[in-house]
Amino acid sequence: MSKLAFRRAYSALLALTFASLLTSSAFAANKVDLHTRKVSKDYLKKFTPKSGMNVENSVARKRSASVRASSGISGVDTLTNWTDSFTEPGFDNAGNPQSVWPYAMVGNAPESHRTTFINAPVIPVTLQVVDASGNVVNDPDTGAPLIQRVTPGIVNAVLESPLFEAFAYTSGFGQFNDQMQRAEFWDRIHHGHGWESENGWHTLLNSRLKRTRTMSIPASAVLYALNADGTCCEFMLVDDSTFTAALFPPTFPVDNTTVIGAAELAGDMRTRDLTSFLFNNVYLFDAGSGSCCVLGFHEYDFEPGVPSNGNLPRFYVMDYSSWISPGLFGGGFQDITAMSHEISETFNDPFVNNWTPWWLSLDPATGFGLCQDNLETGDVVEVLSSNVTYTVGLNNRTYHLQNEALFPWFAFESPSPARLGAYSFPDETTVTTLSPPNLLPGCTPAP
């Protein structure tokens, strides 16, 4: 998601262990003992994978005005989007009653019967670990340079995945995110040519591979595990705040010192695009709390307008997603699980401000729950201990999409007007019951 407990607390012992590690003398800026940065391949198994969010940007956002429309948000230079609202009693994040909930989504409205094409650049990112002078450091035992590249095999697997190529679902034959939206707005689209028709309402991604970018991260902000042959790397963990600072431009005007800044200036990332920054087994942890591991997030980079676009504010919609090698995490998280999660949430919440009534997703097996107030489709499922992923065989590969909660679940609609009366997609059995309604912040029942 973008909003899966980026700051979820773990046990006090775990946090204390991390805090001790991160504040040791080995973290001195000019001299880092890389032995303290190495972990085993099984290190990640102790954590629950999740997605994250750009906290700094999101905190500053204000709730949208209640306006029902079919056209996109006005006065902004960004990708094609449509707006609407639904009505349901609830409370905002300050505890004030609210019943009308506006939202924006990628594409054109279901009633348009139009096919919208969105350019979807995929930008591989090489991550290199550097010393205080900016030089790449080597593993002290094998001498392997600590450089994590996105291999051509990973790139090809992503571009040939069900995110960008068609597959058969219960809603029809098409790309994963397009078919998810058709399923969740099934009652609002025209079915005159049959559900399998290529005509009518679709939102399709045109993938485009762009030049690889390089991100440099100081050794003090990284943990890593070597491959079995001693080369770099089985995976890397990067402190989330350090990663965010290296990804997003910090100042105006944009310069090329960050990954996004360089991509924008080169024209590889444009306001009308949905851009994915692809990493190879690079995950995020929180150096303050010790929580781990974020596999991706979706956001947008805000830039002020320029004369060439009529001085309209510019929203560059993007996601960071890591390719996941099998066996690192439990629950079937591998290959494009994170990317399917983030792009699905981008389709349903491109500007990370689609607020909803508070909802509580509970795992029936463990009783563990997640409480949020946003239209983040992957987070509802991510908290579950089973049935999280959905396998698809395509182009001689097996992919692991994440199952997603559908819009009627967030709107508390019963029965669901989605395809087959479902609350989840592609597996309609993943989410079958609604959250308790009319919850206060923190998901406590209203009096």
Residue 12, pLDDT > 80, answer no
Average pLDDT over residues 305-334: 94
Q: How confident is the model at residue 198 (pLDDT cuts 50, 70, 90)?
A: low
Of 366 and 123, the one with more pLDDT: 123
Q: Single out the residue of 149, 184, 179 nearest to residue 401, CA to CA.
A: 179
Residue 132, pLDDT > 70, answer yes
What is residue 204's predicted lDDT score, i.e. its pLDDT? 98
Residue 31, pLDDT > 70, answer yes
pLDDT tens digit sequence for 200-246 = 899 999 999 999 999 999 999 999 999 999 999 999 999 999 999 99
Residue 62, pLDDT > 80, answer no
Q: How confident is the model at residue 93 (pLDDT cuts 50, 70, 90)?
A: very high
Q: How confident is the model at residue 193 (pLDDT cuts 50, 70, 90)?
A: low
> Over pLDDT 90: what percentage of the chain?
78
Question: Distance (Å, rounded) from C-alpha 243 to C-alpha 311?
Answer: 30
Question: Distance (Å, rounded) from C-alpha 333 to C-alpha 396?
Answer: 19
Residue 16, pLDDT > 50, answer no
What is residue 197's predicted lDDT score, i.e. its pLDDT? 55
> Over pLDDT 70: what percentage of the chain?
87
pTM, entire model: 0.90
Of 48 and 407, the one with more pLDDT: 407
Question: Distance (Å, rounded) from C-alpha 363 to C-alpha 433?
Answer: 11
Average pLDDT over residues 57-69: 38
Residue 96, pLDDT > 80, answer yes
What is residue 48's predicted lDDT score, i.e. its pLDDT? 83
**SS3 letters across the chain:** CCCCCCCCCCCHHHHHHHHHHHCCHHHCCCCCCHHHHECCHHHHHHCCCEEECCHHHHHCCCCCCCCCCCCCCCCCECCCEEEEEEEEEEECCCCCEEEEEEEEEECCCHHHCCEEEEEEEEEEEEEEEECCCCCECECCCCCCECEECCCHHHHHHHHCCCCCCCEEECCEEECHHHHHHHHHCHHHCCCCCCCCCCCCCEEEEEEEECCCEEEEEEHHHEEEECCCCCCCCCEEEEEHHHHHHHHCCCCCCCCCCCHHHHHHHCCCCCCCCEEEEEEECEEEECCCCCCEEEEEEEEEEEECCCHHHCCCCEEEEEEEEEEECCCCCCCCCCECHHHHHHHHHHHHCCCCCCEEEEEEEECCCCCCEEEEEECCHHHHHHCCCCCCEEEEEECCEEEEEECEECHHHHCCCCCCCCHHHCCEECCCCCCCCCCCCCEECCCEECC
Q: How confident is the model at residue 290 (pLDDT cuts 50, 70, 90)?
A: confident
Of 301 and 194, the one with more pLDDT: 301
pLDDT tens digit sequence for 247-257 = 999 877 889 99
What is residue 393's predicted lDDT score, i.e. its pLDDT? 98
Residue 274, pLDDT > 90, answer yes
Q: What's the length of the chain?
A: 447
Q: How confident is the model at residue 333 (pLDDT cuts 50, 70, 90)?
A: very high
Residue 155, pLDDT > 60, answer yes
Residue 14, pLDDT > 70, answer no
**SS3 letters across 287-325:** CCCCCEEEEEEEEEEEECCCHHHCCCCEEEEEEEEEEEC
Mean pLDDT, the chain, rounded, equals: 88
What is residue 115's predicted lDDT score, i.e. its pLDDT? 94
